[in-house]
A and B are shown apart, each in its own frame.
Chain A
């Protein structure tokens, strides 16, 4: 089985870009990813492209994959659009990894895009929350924030997780995002601001929620033969895991955890031959503050129910024992749905190569990305290690 390396990774800025289209954003991310390769990268060498998008707004719902790759000059390249809600490009990454491992591709592209800020409020309402369970969850009045609010209520009731612990997720991630020039909300926030902000879906307030954003991201993968000709700073994907679960929260065995994260993480750790203790830093899916706290537990960084205290201990801060969301996470960097999963890879790629600029944290050798679709109906987890196999 071929080893898989990340040879290039880039994203556009995440934010609101009324002058851009989903295609121009994708092309910008792709061109930046090509430029990020150390050696001379031949775009004709891409055997397979997987592009994630939820398709917010309609635009080009059918064939939205080829619609962006043709714009990026890859019109002869085999392309597949991938949809797994907010885990769309996390899933695209996995498919690209599997294609190289299988020997079907020597070089593969994984990426994603979304444009979410250019619609009227009326139309936006029809698109937000389409990844929640529709027939019963949405029809009982729940938005997506509402679904995660139920999880927060369950976690607070079962484990005593506090309002302040939820807000500390926002404070930490905004502090990181303030150092990221690509962040949508690149400003710091105080604990007081976060605790006292306006209620959205009690117990979640505005600072518990990530923004909706426009943006794109692209990652170039290659087998060892190709990668060794392109770089001497290898980043290897050593573990891939993915899991699915019931779409509706009320149909799961637990409301205070995301079982698909546990399953995907276990598969990724097994695949890499490591355990959670080996993960030095992570980019996790903090669409809502409670999601990051549950991720600590479900990824095995701490015991079940202790996510709030783990955060409060400072372990996941920039200079903690295991920094989480050094990029600013979804909360501060932004969440253009289809671009988010491969967007996480960009931070891991730079950190492992020591190229994260002022966000660089020492010498890191093992990181993880965690991409959640919906409220946990699909999860993809990947492990990245510095060095050759």
Chain B
């Protein structure tokens, strides 16, 4: 059937799905997302210390998808017409990808401030999967 994320796989990372919980490498101090396996900076197979990020950051890159979506998001695309996806540099200095919400996805630009908010991500096998999306910070 192609790529597929099982429910147990989804549940293994709920703190990352909801709050982007980072891992600080005990060897080199680098923050990792997701903190899983070797450190992305020093390759050490150490354990990570959990770090709770603020959940805010700046847009580094953005795309607005209009034609085609992963099957998990096809109904969302049909309904909304677009899917905005950003790669955000969290204030802790780590890049994370996420969907835009609560805005016209064409409006936010590189450098704009965004914050995480819990949303319905998609539904599969009759179970709704929740996680974080990004919305513009209202000053």
- Using a CB–CB cutoff of 8 Å, the interface residues on chain A facing chain B are 58, 122-123, 125-130, 134-143, 145-146, 149-151, 153-154, 157, 198-204, 206, 246, 248-251, 255
Contact = CB atoms under 8 A, between A and B. Distances in A.
Contacts, number: 116
Nearest to A149: B63
B66 to A, nearest CB: 5
Contact of A136 (B3, B64, B73, B96): B96
16 contacts: A122-B71, A125-B2, A125-B69, A125-B74, A129-B70, A134-B3, A135-B34, A138-B3, A139-B121, A140-B97, A157-B61, A198-B66, A200-B68, A201-B66, A202-B65, A250-B95
Given A127-B2, A250-B96, A141 B61 contact: no
B70 to A, nearest CB: 5
B21 interface: no
Interface in B1-43: 1-5, 9, 13, 34, 40
Nearest to A200: B67
Interface of B is mostly: mixed
Contact of B87 (A139, A143, A150): A150
Contacts of B49: none
Interface of B: 1-5, 9, 13, 34, 40, 60-74, 76, 83, 85, 87, 95-99, 106, 110, 121, 131
Nearest to B65: A201
A201 B3 contact: no
Contacts of A123: 1-2
B40 A246 contact: yes
A277 B5 CA distance: 45
Contacts of B76: 141
Contacts of A143: 65, 68-70
Contacts of A139: 5, 72, 121, 131
B68 A145 contact: yes
Contacts of A248: 97
A321 to B, nearest CB: 32
A36 B62 CA distance: 47
Contact of B67 (A126, A127, A154, A199): A199
Contacts of B131: 139
Contacts of A122: 71
A146 B63 contact: yes
Contacts of B97: 136-137, 140, 142, 248-250
